[in-house]
Amino acid sequence: MKLLIGDKNYSSWSMRPWLLLKHFGIPFEEVLIHLDQPGTTAAIVAHAPQGPGKVPCLIDEAGQASWDSLAIAETLAERFPQHALWPRDAAARAHARSVSAEMHSGFGELRSNMWMNIRASFPGKNATPGALADIARIETIWRDCLDAHGGPFLFGEFSIADAMYAPVAMRFNTWRPTLSATSWAYVERLTALPAVQAWINAARSDTFAIPYQDVCP
């Protein structure tokens, strides 16, 4: 399999399926395509002509492409049932799917105002009312999941739900909003995960830059 991804410093959507593949030890070839370049879309389409020309995109051994991080996660869960990518318990699985879909479709204020830039440090900035409302909802999700399932991750063991929220943890490391002790502890556990550390280290060592994302007004 091949996974097309964007730059590790910026591409929050690419981070999610990459973490799942790395954490669960599923072999794949990484294909890095720089974002925001004149040839970005063409480079993606060259690998996956049936897709929308966006990353991430998973291409299997038969050449079938799956795009969108949540769709890729579902594809991996189907193909590798020996790994508990979703919780085994049906009720927990329904809950995990719900909070993952909420992350997938929501939190636009947080995305717009506190973008992912692992190499940057913007503590206390862009704490708009909308972003803070999104953060409050995320903290509620995290607290409820951790309380219900006992940690250390949202549904006990690391799952798709944690992968969906991992880029949020990266944002919190960069922007340092006010969070509860429970939330910061979860951010720290996610950050320390070996697959997450591998992503962070690659992001920090990369010299490719998107200048407008490296400044905060």
Same fold, 2-83 and 90-201: no
90-201: in CATH 1.20.1050.10: yes
The residues, ordered by sequence, that sit 6+ positions from 217 with a Cβ below 8 Å of its Cβ are none
Burial of 82 (0-12, 13-18, 19+ CB in 10 A): exposed
Q: What angle do helix axes 160-175 and 12-23 make, rounded to 10 degrees?
A: 130
pLDDT at 217: 80
CATH superfamily ID and name for 2-83: Glutaredoxin (3.40.30.10)
For the chain, give every domain's residue range: 2-83, 90-201
The residues, ordered by sequence, that sit 6+ positions from 97 with a Cβ below 8 Å of its Cβ are 86
What gap in Å lies between CA 15 and CA 66, rounded to an integer? 15
pLDDT beneath 70: ranges in the chain: none
What gap in Å lies between CA 160 and CA 178, rounded to an integer? 26
